[in-house]
Amino acid sequence: MAIPTYEECMLPLMKIAEDGKEHLFKETIDTLITRFNLTDEEKQQLLPSGSAFVINNRIGWARTYLTKAGLLLKTRRGYFQISEEGKEFLKRNPNFINTKMLSDYDSFNEFQSIKEKDTSGYDKKINKEEQNITPHELLESGYLSIKNELSSELLSMIKNISSSRFEKLVVDLLVKMGYGGSIKEAATVVGKSGDEGIDGIIKEDKLGLDVIYIQAKKWEGNIGRPEIQKFAGALLGKKAKKGIFITTSNFTNEAREYVTDIDAKIILLDGRQLTELMIENDLGVSTQDIYTIKRIDSDYFEED
């Protein structure tokens, strides 16, 4: 089955708590994952940031909403149990639980009204699909949309700069990533302009223990195997084993397959990967907003 939404996790979570006992939430997550009969791939699916598993995040938000409605209680650290209100709720034998049903409880409405106020009413505007994802997922989805748009705009700008400016961009990026030592040192070995790209070498590390050959092309069409073969031949001629081929376009499948079958280690960076590395290394972009997500520090509240 597909990974259940946080609303689809609510009733199974309540059913586990129905016995009135305290339950360790970590163990409950494992129990629910087993009951949902998820595949290994679904179990391991991460949020876009890689900060948590999707299923764990959704079960966690299901507990949060049920707790805010007063149907579940947090007893001690990491544990929960059903409340008297929750027992009464289950006596109705519901087939499912959703946020609309939770709105029958004042405490949940109070929680929702605070959230709506903090988000400037955005919750009132989200579409039906977004209602089935957690606030954490919604935030990360928005972040990825902004990042993807930034990446597209960045690539468009790169394609419109001159060959010499593109040459400097590649040098700046590699130095920011730890190659070549300083900008000055890198620029002395990279800079043979031609064919709307650059060809040269750069130190693999600040000590210059090894060098990496570079080829970069501002192309619109896909780069195929013949171009990569030429680059590999050039490496062989220099008795070199490492190379980076950077393009503003893409590589064909044949080109990508070819580099896996040769002795030389050639890294292929397409336009999308180039912009992602620029964003990751703060090259050509600046920070506009920072949102810090915080959580309870349980250790602080531990008794001495």
Cα dihedral across residues 116, 121, 123, 124: positive or negative = positive
Yes or no: say if 187 and 203 are a contact pair by the CB < 8 Å rule.
Answer: no
Distance CA 126, CA 108 (A): 19
Distance CA 23, CA 167 (A): 60
Say what the pLDDT of residue 264 is: 84
How far from 206 is each of 174, 184, 209, CA to CA, in Å? 12, 12, 8
Q: What is the mean pLDDT of the chain?
A: 84
Maximum C-alpha span of the chain: 79
Second-level CATH architecture of 6-132:
Orthogonal Bundle (1.10)
The pTM of the full predicted model, rounded to 2 decimals, is: 0.65
Average pLDDT over every residue of 113-139: 58
Q: Where exactly does CATH 3.40.1340.10 map onto the chain?
A: 157-280
What's at 119, amino acid-wise? T
Per-residue confidence at 200, pLDDT binned at 50, 70, 90? confident
Say what the pLDDT of residue 181 is: 63
Query: Tokens standing for 39?
Result: 């595949």
Average pLDDT over every residue of 270-284: 94
Report the percent of the chain where pLDDT is more than 70. Answer: 85
Q: For residue 278, is pLDDT > 70?
A: yes
Say what the pLDDT of residue 197 is: 43
CATH number of 157-280: 3.40.1340.10
Query: Tokens standing for 201?
Result: 């070498």
In tens, the pLDDT along 76-91 reads: 888 999 999 999 999 9
Say what the pLDDT of residue 297 is: 79
Nearest Cα residue to 113 out of 105, 133, 4, 142: 105
In tens, the pLDDT along 144-184 reads: 878 888 888 899 899 888 877 887 888 889 888 888 766 66
How far from 171 is each of 11, 59, 168, CA to CA, in Å? 56, 46, 5
Q: Where exactly does CATH 1.10.10 map onto the chain?
A: 6-132
More confident residue, 72 or 294: 72
Average pLDDT over every residue of 32-41: 94
The owner of tokens 């946080």 is: 6
Burial class (CB in 10 A: 0-12, 13-18, 19+), 214: buried
Per-residue confidence at 48, pLDDT binned at 50, 70, 90? confident
Q: For residue 117, is pLDDT > 90?
A: no
Going by C-beta distance under 8 Å and a sequence separation of 6 or more, which residues neighbour residue 124? 116
